[in-house]
Structure 1
Amino acid sequence: MIVQDVINHLEELAPLSYAEGFDNVGLLVGDKNTKLTGVLVTLDTLEAVVDEAISENCNLIVSFHPIIFKGLKKITGKTYVERVVLKAIKNDIAIYSMHTALDNAFKGVNAIICNQLELANKRILIPQSETIKKLTTYVPKNEAETLRNALFNAGAGSIGNYTNCSFNVEGYGTFRGNDQSSPTKGKKGETHTETETKITITFPKHLESRILQTLFNTHSYEEVAYEVVTIENKNQHIGMGMVGELATPMSETDFLNHVKTKMQTGFIRHSSFLNKTIKKVAVLGGSGSFAINAAKATGADAFITADLKYHDFFSAENSILLADIGHYESEQFTKNGLVEHLTKKITNFAVVLSKTNTNPVKYF
């Protein structure tokens, strides 16, 4: 195996096209064609993590947070970022980061939090916009079923909980090829009329190259007429945060104790108790103050996140329990989820869960 093989498995889980525009994701250090010796999975890439990778004979570090976030003008070892990059390069270790691509994945960071908290009926809190595209094409009537099935197999035609979705209209297409043409229907220089099926089908944006390649490989025409547009429909499976439900409602104190136990945090900052039971819970790993209003709009009884500022707690407005459990604490099980995913995909190489605690926040 090579580094790219692992990347392919990771991008099945969290395509990079769904990362936020401000982010820096993907292969940050190293050569994607390097032969793989082992994979170390971590939340953050620090010098101690690179040392751990060396000791474990792992030449690929899969890190949730990107070690390189802003542009580096110098790599002299002056900062911890520069020292990590230098050490990784010196030891031929590649570094791959997922960050907000995994935040926005349906089985990513927030699904892992929901699973830790034993929440059911999960759904995306803030669906990402412009993630669905629509293909319209025209194919000879007797070839329509073959093309539809090929597009379905390539990943097109899924809408929410439904698959193999398409819309089809029969009509007549006309065309005339010039002297350089090689028509598969009709003759060059003559106007030809063909009974055609107009196929309209949606697909997630990260599959566009695959969908178009399938179209061109399956369609019989020399020149394929098609159109791709981005649509405004909300994608139920891509976006920030999640909402789920407890099997049994809890009091506020019982719920916070449940969170402390399941998320292994000894310190929770929260808004005022509202003297009501907690049933519906919104979660967002990492800094989530921007999602407070979205959590309230869902009717959630509580919102679990991190990095809330003083004035953010006023936004509860006696309608929701806000709980800041710590940035590291909210995302710490992400690496366990990645190890589980890769272990299922890769059976002949070591996938190692980092033992390094990278939490920079200490409590006295």
Structure 2
Amino acid sequence: MKTGELIKYLEDWAPKEAAWERDNVGIQIGSRNKELKNILICLELNRDVVSEAIKKKCNFIFTHHPLIFTPLKKLEFDKDNLIEKIIIHGLTVYSAHTNLDFTKGGVSFALAKKLNLQNIEFLQNADSNRVKIVVFAPEESVDTLSEKLFETGAGIIGEYSKCSFRLKGEGTFRGSENSNPVIGKKGSFEKVSEMRLELIAERWLLPKILDVIDRHHPYETPAFDIYPLKNENENFGAGCIGNLPAEMTPSDFYEHVKKSLRLESFRYSKGNQKKIHKVAVCGGSGSELLGRAIASGADAFITADIKYHTFHDALDKIHLIDAGHYETEVVVLDEVKKRIEKFINDKKIKVYKYTRSTNPIKFYKHKGDK
């Protein structure tokens, strides 16, 4: 299996186009054309991660945080240079960052599952980034054409795939002397029984969709329309919201969060709810979703990197917990590992999760603690 095959699988799940526009996702260093050996998964890259990858004979490293975020102005190799080490050992480094944050089953979904939430859905769906494609085709061709369009990723609405609408009607045309009509004769006015086929798709799939129409539509000149949509996108979004299996008191819930995420401690401010049932989460920095969490009726909201004044905004409204950036994101690595192992299905290729922590933040307890 080539590294490019794994990358395609990852991007079918978490498309690069779903990422924040200023993000740098995808291949950081390496090639799509190398034979895949072992794989190491980590939250971010450092020298210890690279050393472990080399030791375990990995040639593919998956990271959540990109190694290269701002443009490099030069590459000057010195002692123990990280990029030089990656190149020398032929490693491919691949990052899925905000696209994995905004993807169903991604970071926030993994966090919600770790907290044993049920009926999980996006806290805030992505803004409109979809189109409706309408294609007119002969009735006998519409099944084949629709299947080819579904293969591009079109027709997915929430938990449903291969979604379309069909309406039977009559099409008319008259080809010029330079035409080569599949049905009827050039220069003649023709009436044909046709189907109107409608599908919804992410805007970034349009090149693939137009290519399918060009190659698989029977007509010399296919008729189709593309409509921009203003609907929120239920396939992508930020944060998650779900329900605990049973109500908890705030103190029991705090203990549940601490144990579930293996936290030493966390910062929080109290809400006015005596029982907690509905919980919103956002892996990493999600403070901007506080208003959405409150409006959605959540009793508690768990995220990271919360500012002082944001705690004030939440006070007596919702239980707000800062569980740490690393701690709320590292939970996704198990999901990535599980999906890659299922895709590869090859016992010769091992998938490892980095055995140590890359979290730079430590908690000072008292003199003598490390």
Task: Report the TM-score when normalising by structure 2.
Answer: 0.91
Matches of 2:279 and 2:186, distance apart in 1: 64
Paired residue for 1:33? 33
Say which of 151, 170, 177 aligns to 2:175: 177
CA shift for structure 1 position 274 = 2.8
Report the Cα distance in structure 2 between the residues aligned to 1:158 and 1:351, rounded to whole angstroms.
30
1:109-166 CA-to-partner distances (Å, cap 9, x unmatched) read: 1111111100001010111112322101111234334434544455433333444443
Measured in 2, the distance between the counterparts of 1:29 and 1:48 equals: 17
AA aligned opposite 2:259: T
2:168 and 2:6 map into 1 onto residues whose CA distance is 44
- Whole-Å Cα distance in 2 between the matches of residues 343 and 243 of structure 1? 28
Tell me how far 1:12 sits from its aligned partner: 2.5
Q: Which runs of 5+ in 1 are unaligned?
A: none
Q: How far apart in 2 are the matches of 1:77 and 1:356?
A: 26
Number of the residue aligned with 2:44:
44
Q: Give the Cα separation in 2 of the matches to 1:149 and 1:275.
A: 50
CA drift of 1:62 comes to 0.5
The Cα offsets for residues 227-255 of structure 1, whole Å up to 9 and x where unpaired, read as: 22331112223111000100111111110
Match of 2:109 in 1: 111
User: Which of the numbers 310, 323, 337 marks the counterpart of 2:321?
Assistant: 323
Structure 2 residue runs of 5 or longer lacking an equivalent are 365-370
The alignment of Structure 1 onto Structure 2 pairs a total of residues equal to 362
Give the distance between the partners of 1:151 and 1:18, measured in 2 at CA.
20
Q: 1:336 deviation in Å?
A: 1.5
For 1:186 and 1:79, the matched residues in 2 are separated by 74
| Match in the other structure for 2:278 | 280
Distance 2:202 2:16 in 1: 12
Aligned partner of 2:50: which letter? Answer: V
After TM superposition, give the deviation of residue 198 of structure 1 in Å. 1.9
Deviation for aligned residue 1:20: 1.1
| Secondary structure of 1:59's aligned partner | strand
Correspondence 1:201-240 to 2 at 5 A = 201-240=199-238
Structure 1 CA distance for aligned equivalents of residues 222 and 53 of structure 2: 49
Q: How does 1:304-315 map to 2 (within 5 A)?
A: 304-315=302-313
**In structure 2, distance between residues paired with 1:215 and 1:272:** 56
Work out the CA distance in 2 between the residues paired with 1:333 and 1:62: 14
- Seq. identity, %: 38
| Structure 1 residue 189, shift from structure 2 partner | 3.4
CA distance in 1, matches of 2:129, 2:48: 38
Partners of 2:135 and 2:239 in 1: CA distance: 35
In the other structure, the counterpart of 1:9 is 9
**Equivalent residue runs for 1:69-218 within 5 Å:** 69-77=69-77, 83-152=81-150, 154-218=152-216
Distance 2:89 2:152 in 1: 39
Secondary structure of the equivalent of 1:314?
helix
Inter-partner Cα distance in structure 2 for 1:254 and 1:319: 19
Q: SS at 1:228's partner residue?
A: strand
SS of the residue corresponding to residue 237 of structure 1 reads: strand
Letter in 2 for 1:254: D
Cα distance, 1:153–1:21 mapped onto 2, change above 3 Å = closer
Deviates more, 1:233-242 or 1:299-308: 233-242
Q: Which residue of structure 2 lines up, in the alignment, with residue 57 of structure 1?
A: 57
Q: Distance in 2 between matches of 1:7 and 1:74?
A: 27
CA RMSD across the alignment: 2.1
**Residue in 1 that maps onto 2:358:** 358
Is the Cα contact below 8 Å between 1:45 and 1:84 reproduced in 2?
no
Cα distance, 1:270 vs structure 2: 0.3
Q: Which amino acid aligns with 1:312?
A: T
